[in-house]
């Protein structure tokens, strides 16, 4: 069910993100036209919202490595197995859920993580197999795309720029763009507003329960979970309507044959 606060948050988001990626002329032309049938296949949805890390970008080992290094350096003994149980929300929320740290205690760890990730880990980012062909197919079919990530907006934008995907997306929404990140529906609904779409013809694609919950809470017609960090049963429990093992499988779910 949609959160009643989502509409008010969308208005605040509009004020904060004026002049964002949607200003690109080529992307506005794509928004203006109807979806296209490509190679005999018609898109099943008129708007697609993607998560970024672990969904399109092969960042899971980078994120986990940087988190482990940073958290342990601050005196908290954690391992990858523990991190994987809590990954999905922004790091300060993870630190609270995992270690019981307050926002004040988590802040220096988070800031250290952001600096380290941008300087050392982010330059190693690569697309996941199938990401570029999937994005190309959707853009060729004139389907407008957005990213909603639980990393900071500036980090999301830098990642997209590094992968040379800026022209593929109308907007990038980060955890700090909205007062409530995924699984709250507001970031998805704002992205959908920029795409000139409706929940009834939109799909969310992600790999964690935060993504599944956000799509469900926003009332999206489809919520596709990529099995990996979480298994199929777990993703469906949190709202997935379909699951896929990789992005080739996602592409099959996004197009009618």
* Contacts of residue 32, Cβ cutoff 8 Å, sequence gap at least 6: none
- Which of 3, 51, 176, 180 is flagged as catalytic? 51
**Dist CA 148 CA 181 (whole Å):** 9
148 φ/ψ angles, rounded to the nearest 5 degrees: -125, 115
* Beta pairing, strands 42-43 & 255-256: antiparallel
**Dist CA 144 CA 30 (whole Å):** 7
Residue keyed to tokens 């032309």: 29
- Tell me how many helices (H) and strands (E) the chain has: 12, 8
Residue keyed to tokens 């699984």: 183
**Is 256 within 8 Å of 44 (Cβ atoms)?**
yes
Active-site annotation holds for 53: no
188 φ/ψ angles, rounded to the nearest 5 degrees: -70, -40
Kindly calculate the radius of gyration of the chain based on its CA atoms and give it in whole angstroms. Answer: 17
Catalytic residues: 51
């Amino acid at each position: 069910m949609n959160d009643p606060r989502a509409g008010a948050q969308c208005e605040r988001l509009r004020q904060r993100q004026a002049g964002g990626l949607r200003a690109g002329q080529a992307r506005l032309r794509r928004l203006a036209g109807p979806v296209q049938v490509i190679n005999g296949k018609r898109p099943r949805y008129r708007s697609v919202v993607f998560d970024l890390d672990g969904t399109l970008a092969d960042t899971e080992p980078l994120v986990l490595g940087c988190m482990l290094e940073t958290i342990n350096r601050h005196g908290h003994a954690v391992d990858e197995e523990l991190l994987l149980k809590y990954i999905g929300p922004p790091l300060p929320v993870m630190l609270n859920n995992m270690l019981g740290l307050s926002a004040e205690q988590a802040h220096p760890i988070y800031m250290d993580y952001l600096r380290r990730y941008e300087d050392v880990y982010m330059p190693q980012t690569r697309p996941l197999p199938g990401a570029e062909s999937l994005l190309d197919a959707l853009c060729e079919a004139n389907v407008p795309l957005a990213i909603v990530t639980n990393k900071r907006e500036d980090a999301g934008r830098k990642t997209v720029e590094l992968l040379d995907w800026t022209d593929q997306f109308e907007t990038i929404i980060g955890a700090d763009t909205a007062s409530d990140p995924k699984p709250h529906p507001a970031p998805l609904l704002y992205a959908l507003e920029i795409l000139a779409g409706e929940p009834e013809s939109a799909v969310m694609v992600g790999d964690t329960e935060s993504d599944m919950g956000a799509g469900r809470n926003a009332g999206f017609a489809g919520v596709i979970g990529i099995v990996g960090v979480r298994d199929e049963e777990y993703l469906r429990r949190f709202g997935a309507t379909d699951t896929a093992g990789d992005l080739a499988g996602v592409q099959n779910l996004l197009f009618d044959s």
